[in-house]
Amino acid sequence: MANRNETIRGFGKCVHSSEFGKSEGHSITNDFLCNITTNFYKNSLEHRKHEDYLPFIYGERQIHSILCPAIYDSSDSLLIEAGVNRKKRGDDNVGTDHHGWVDYYCNYRKFIYFLEIKHSFYSPSSKIVKEVIKKKWHHADKQLQSVKKEITDWIKPNSKGAFRVAMLILPYFHSVDKDLSLNSDEILEQHSNINTTLKTNWSSLCLLNKKMSGPYEYDKSTEMHPAVGIYCKISDIHK
């Protein structure tokens, strides 16, 4: 496993890990995902400076408010909700949904990426990757598998290839009334277990600093967020 460590001042200490190859495509993909996650963490910090909550504690739809600009700043081009059957302007079928959509189409250094995003929550006190997490993860993988053939329409003559990327954003949380005194090594161990359970091949974990981690008051509970993880599965290259 290749690790890249990073500290985001005022937010936390992060580690990006990749388990795929060292070809040009994989090296560039690693850079691309590191850039996205770093920008995601920085956007979260900037949001928190102006609000009394972290932006990733809501649902899947709300996560795009900070993820989309993170991807935009990391890409050479970006299209949201891209139809997997590429249509030209003037085609009568533009706007119809025959084979589905992907959340993001991106171009970075002549490689094309199709990203499908999911969001859930993980409780380090339980140490269990719950079924709801697994279900969302497998759904993202299934969605990308179903468009495997169609996305080749997007590969241009000067492109070096395309990758499908399932991405799961997973805030860690626990109630303040639980005596959870996990150190960073224990959280990293659970992060490793999540990677094993989900069979990822790229991930990032940011251990939030004490001030950023909480406590945060919600309607029915007061919680801490010791970390946030981003888990990815990158397909083989399409050419």
- Which DSSP category does 237 fall into? P
Q: What is the mean pLDDT of residues 206-214?
A: 94
Residue 59: Cβ-neighbour burial (10 angstroms; 0-12, 13-18, 19+)? exposed
Tell me the domain boundaries of the chain.
2-89+97-234
pTM of the model: 0.92
- Before 226, cis peptide (omega within 30)? no
pLDDT in tens, 24-71: 899 999 999 999 999 999 999 999 999 999 999 988 999 999 999 999
Q: What confidence score (pLDDT) does residue 178 get?
A: 65
DSSP state letter for 102: E
* Residue pair 147/100 in contact by the 8 Å Cβ criterion: yes
Backbone torsions φ then ψ of 209, nearest 5 degrees: -70, 165
Nearest Cα neighbor of 74 from 165, 194, 201 is 165
Please, which residues bridge with residue 122 across strands?
Answer: 172
What is the DSSP-derived secondary structure letter of residue 158? T
Q: What is the pLDDT of residues 104-133, one digit of tens each?
A: 999 999 999 999 999 999 999 889 999 999
CA distances from 155 to 93, 114, 159 (A): 20, 11, 6
